[in-house]
Amino acid sequence: MDTQKSSKFFVGSIVIFLILFLLVKVILSTMLDMGKSAVAADSMVAEDVAERIKPVAQVYVGEAPVVEAAPVVEASSGGGAQVVTQVCALCHSTGMMSSPKLGSADDWAPRIEKGIDVLYESAINGFNMMPARGGRPSLSDDEVKAAVDHMLSQAK
Ligand code: HEC
């Protein structure tokens, strides 16, 4: 009788153990599946999503307006300022190699005396340690001149 009871208990606990085991397994695999679908969501390409959620019908309202992109460097004083910060400031902000320092009226006064055309000429073709076009050959004459204008306007 006792042995029967304990063996029943034994079988019972095995069954409970199996049920628990299966439960854990089901829970784990559901979690894994959720993980997988989360990864799938990550890899969804924006275009695919747009394709899937796009409206069933589309209304044609004529040509889309073309938005013109603003030129990056303008040959205006703004463009000159940009060239100065991106190219010329490398030397001229610190007065490196005794270059006339940006914003220093004293440094620029003797240069200005030479006349603006001489300064354009030096900036475009180089002058002693001053490299032609500040070492950026892709700059146009107008861009270099705008940069000189900007430098001079700051040195007053
Ligand atoms: C590699 C350093 C360096 C860079 C970059 C540089 N300069 Fe110069 N610049 C000099 C030096 C050095 C002098 C002084 C040359 C001298 O007087 O012998 C000078 C002088 C000048 C002068 C006076 C020239 C004269 O005839 O007195 C002008 C104008 C000038 N630079 C404009 C510019 C402009 C504009 C840029 C950017 C497009 C620029 N520099 C970039 C080093 C540089």
pTM above 0.75, yes or no: no
What is the distance in A from the centroid of ligand 1 to the CA of 96? 10
Look at the chain and report how many structural domains it folds into.
Answer: 2
Average pLDDT over every residue of 22-47 = 70
Token digits for 52? 């899937």
In a domain, 69, yes or no: no
Residue 125 lies in a domain: yes
Question: Which of 12-16, 88-92, 106-110 is least confident?
Answer: 12-16
Cα 84 from Cα 73, distance rounded (Å) = 11
Q: Are residues 88 and 133 in the same domain?
A: yes
Indicate whether 59 belongs to any domain: no
Using alpha carbons only, give the angle 37, 41, 46 rounded to the nearest 5 degrees: 160
CA of 70 to the centre of ligand 1 (A): 29
At residue 41, the pLDDT reads 54
Give, using CA atoms, the residue closest to atom 9 of ligand 1: 130
Whether 109 and 150 map to the same domain: the answer is yes
User: Domain limits at 7?
Assistant: 2-53
The answer to the question of residue 68 being in a domain is no
Q: Does residue 35 sit within a domain?
A: yes
| Residues 40 and 90 occupy one common structural domain | no
pLDDT digits (tens, 9 = 90+) for 35-78: 666 555 555 677 776 777 777 777 777 776 666 655 544 444 45
Would you state the pLDDT for residue 17? 83
| Alpha carbon separation from 12 to 15, 23, 25, 53 (Å, rounded) | 5, 16, 20, 53
Spell out which residues line ligand 1, taking CB within 6 angstroms. Answer: 83, 87-88, 90-92, 96-97, 99-100, 111, 114, 118-119, 122-123, 127-131, 133-135, 144, 147-148, 151
